[in-house]
Structure 1
Amino acid sequence: MESYDLIIIGAGPAGSTLAKSLENSGKRILLIDKQDFPRDKTCAGWVTPAVIDALDIDLAEYGNARTLQPIRRFRIGMMGQPAVENDHGSTISYGIRRCEFDDYLLARTSVPKQLGTPVKSIVRKDDNWLINNAFSAPLLVGAGGHFCPVARLIGDGPGGHETVVAAKEIEFEMTPEQAKACEARGDTPELWFCKDLKGYAWVFRKGNFLNIGLGREDNHKLTEHLQDFVETMKTTGRIPSDLPGRFKGHAYLLYDHAARALVDDGLLLIGDAAGLAYTQSGEGIRPAIESALLAADVIRHAQDFSATTLQAYGDAIAARFGHRRSVTEEGFQVPDWIKMPLAGTLMRSHWFTRKVVTEKWFLHQELPALAANS
């Protein structure tokens, strides 16, 4: 049995950031993931300058042999209406491929890793957690996404009535012919909102890679919505007519409607395992990174790993992201004043799509970067 001070389940951006942040804390850390890296991870994949700053990423170094697509415009519309394009005048985000980004972050940390290792059993014995009867630690951190096994130990909240966003997407490298035919531009991601405002679709070109997807607050007619969107994009020339492969599905929780407790005795959740995706956009990379930094600060100074002590992390999350609202509220947090019929008019407004949709909902430019503490 190998003993550690904490074991992190999940080596994505949240898990690797937490491990990196605690490298010099004197704590013995083990990072476990069911997959080997680099691994396939379909994701629209853009990161804001706040994420770059928080992770102290050298853009020139990262962009060497990796996809790094500067973004300075957004093209936004409601399905069935013409889109509005806004030029922000400078780079406001960067397109990345998650298979590269996650592998890069993981490679930066020197903590011991057990990759390609599914978690088959978690047993509580005395004050320790035993993983697969092979590893033990008094603190277990769940960073394994929506279906993280650590999250199941804490529970899915009262009655499990959380609103789950379901999404389907595809990412592939275009052939020269496809790239020539595709009218979507790399510096201009496209966002298309469903008419009922219960989700949105996107077209995001990153160099010769193209990502297309659609997410809604539940599975209701998700495939039908996606098929209609894809056909419209093909007809208008936004995407190639011959898409390869099948769309992959995934799920996540929106912050305001996730009912999961964040801590318990010897347990702590970060990233999508904690249900931290931004309620207005569903974007989860920045909340994942910031939750890991906040967790690292609490773990570094914790005298014990009781729920009472770890609640300082829950308090820090509430201070950073706000207090969660009632889990009975539905889906994407679109204010009542934006509901139909006003929504169609607002989505044709350059001011609204730039200042509210892009800069506030998707980029959270009003929120300064969260720096790592040493």
Structure 2
Amino acid sequence: MEPYDLIIVGAGPAGSTLAKALEDSGKRTLLIDKQDFPRDKTCAGWVTPAVIETLGIDLAEYGKGRTLQPIRRFRIGMMGQQAVENDHGSVVSYGIRRCEFDDYLLARTNTPKQLGTPVKNIIRKDGNWLINDTWCAPLLVGAGGHFCPVARLIGDGPGSHETVVAAKEIEFEMTHDQANACEARGDTPELWFCKDLKGYAWVFRKGNYLNIGLGREDNHKLTEHLQDFVETMKASGRIPAELPGRFKGHAYLLYDHAGRALVDDGLILIGDAAGLAYTQSGEGIRPAIESALLAADVIKQAPGFSASSLQAYGDAITERFGHRGSVNKEGFQVPDWIRMPLASTLMRSHWFTRKVVTERWFLHQEVPALVANS
């Protein structure tokens, strides 16, 4: 049996960021993930300058041999209407491929790793958590996404079965002919809101790679909405007529509606395992990175790993992201004050789509980057 001070389950951006942040803390840390890296990860895949700054990524270095698509414009519309295109005048985000991005972040940490290792059992024994009868630690950190096994230990919070966003998407490298014919531009992601405002779809080109997807609250209608969207995009030339493979699904909780507790005795949840995705956009990368850094600060200073000792992390999350709204509150992408037919009008407005939808909901430009404490 190998003892550690903490074990992080999940080696995506949240887990790898936490591991790196703890490298000089003296904490013996183990990072476990069920998959080997690099691995496919279902995600539209863009990161804001705030994420780049927080992680200290050298863009020139990262761009060598990896996809790094500068984004200067957004094309936004409501399905069935003409889209509005806004030019932001400078680079406001970067398109990445998660298989490359996550592998890059993981490679930056020297923390011991057990990859390709599914968590088969977790047992509480003598104040420690024992994983797979092999590794033990007094603290477990859940960083394994919505279905993280550590999150199951804390249990579902009230209303946690409401507003679970289900999404399907596909990412593939276009052929030469497809790339030439594709109307979607690399520097201009397209966002298309569903008419009932319960989700949105996207077309996002990154060089010769194309990512297409749709996320909604109601899973039972997801396939129907996706098929309608794909056919519309094909007919307009926005995407190729022939798509390879099948769309992959994933799920996550929106911050304002999640009911999961963030801590318990010897347990912390970060990233999507904690249900931190931004309520208006569903983006999870920035909240994952920031939650990892906030958790690192608490882990370094906590006198122990009881729920009360770790509650400082929950307080820090609330201070950073705000108080969670009512778990019974409806609405995925838009606040209550935006409802039909007002939404239809607003989505035709250059000012609204730029200042509210893009800069506030998707880019969070009003929120300064979180700088890691040394």
TM-score range, shorter chain: over 0.9
SS of the counterpart of 2:186? coil
Identity %: 87
Q: Distance in 2 between matches of 1:159 and 1:60?
A: 44
Instruction: Judge conservation of contact 2:39–2:99 (CA < 8 Å) in 1.
Output: yes
Equivalent residue letter for 2:238: R
8 A contact 2:34–2:119 mirrored in 1 = yes
| Aligned-residue offset at 1:333 | 4.8
Alignment of 1:14-53 (within 5 A): 14-53=14-53
Return the alpha-carbon distance in structure 2 between the equivalents of residues 142 and 205 of structure 1.
32
Report the counterpart of residue 189 of structure 1 in structure 2. 189
Residue number in structure 1 paired with 2:348: 348
Are the aligned partners of 1:23 and 1:110 in contact in 2 as well (CA < 8 Å)? Answer: yes
Retained in 1: the 8 A contact 2:198–2:333?
Answer: no
1:325-340 to 2 correspondences below 5 Å: 325-340=325-340
Counterpart residue number, 1:105: 105
Equivalent position of 1:372 in the other structure: 372
Structure 2 counterparts to residues 35-114 of structure 1, below 5 A: 35-114=35-114
Matched ranges for 1:1-374 at <5 A: 1-158=1-158, 160-374=160-374
Relative to structure 1, the CA distance from residue 159 to residue 346 in structure 2 (aligned partners, 3 Å threshold; closer, same or farther) is: closer
Stretches of 4+ aligned residues off by more than 3 angstroms: 159-162
* Separation (CA, whole Å) in 2 of partners of 1:224 and 1:105: 36
Offset, 1:163: 1.7
Per the TM alignment, residue 43 of structure 1 is displaced from its structure 2 partner at its CA by 1.1
Say what the alpha-carbon RMSD is for the aligned residues. Answer: 0.7
Cα deviation per residue 1:58-93 (whole Å; 9 max; x = unaligned)?
A: 000000000000000000000000000000000000
Secondary structure (helix, strand or coil) at the match of 1:158 reads: coil
- Cα distance in 1 for partners of 2:268, 2:114 equals 20
Deviations 1:108-155 (A, max 9, x none): 000100000000000000110000000000000000000000000001
| Amino acid of the structure 1 residue aligned with 2:248 | K
Amino acid at match of 2:298: V
Decide whether the 8 Å contact of 1:162 with 1:259 is kept in 2: no
Displacement, 1:336?
2.4
Distance 1:156 1:239 in 2: 39
Q: Which amino acid aligns with 2:61?
A: E
* SS of residue matched to 2:219: coil
CA deviation string 1:256-282 (max 9, x = no partner)? 000000000000000000000000000
* Contact 1:257/1:331, CA 8 A, preserved across alignment: no
Alpha-carbon distance between aligned partners in 2 of 1:273 and 1:162, rounded to the nearest angstrom: 16
Q: Which amino acid aligns with 2:162?
A: E
Displacement, 1:337? 2.2
SS in 2 for 1:75: strand
CA distance in 2, matches of 1:167, 1:141: 25
Relative to structure 1, the CA distance from residue 349 to residue 160 in structure 2 (aligned partners, 3 Å threshold; closer, same or farther) is: closer
Post-superposition offset of 1:168:
0.2
Gaps in structure 1 of 5+ consecutive residues: none
- Per the TM alignment, residue 302 of structure 1 is displaced from its structure 2 partner at its CA by 0.9
Matched residue SS, 1:255 = coil
1:156, CA displacement in angstroms?
Answer: 1.1
SS at match of 1:221: helix
TM-score, structure 2 normalization: 0.99
Give, in angstroms, the shift of residue 330 of structure 1. 1.8
Letter in 2 for 1:195: K
Q: Measure the CA separation in 1 of the matches of 2:291 and 2:156.
A: 19
1:154 counterpart letter in structure 2: I
The CA distance in 1 between the partners of 2:47 and 2:245, in whole Å, is 26
Q: Distance in 2 between matches of 1:336 and 1:160?
A: 20
Q: Please tell me whether the aligned partners of residues 35 and 115 of structure 1 are also in contact (alpha carbons under 8 angstroms).
A: yes
Structure 2: any 5+ residue segments left out of the alignment?
none
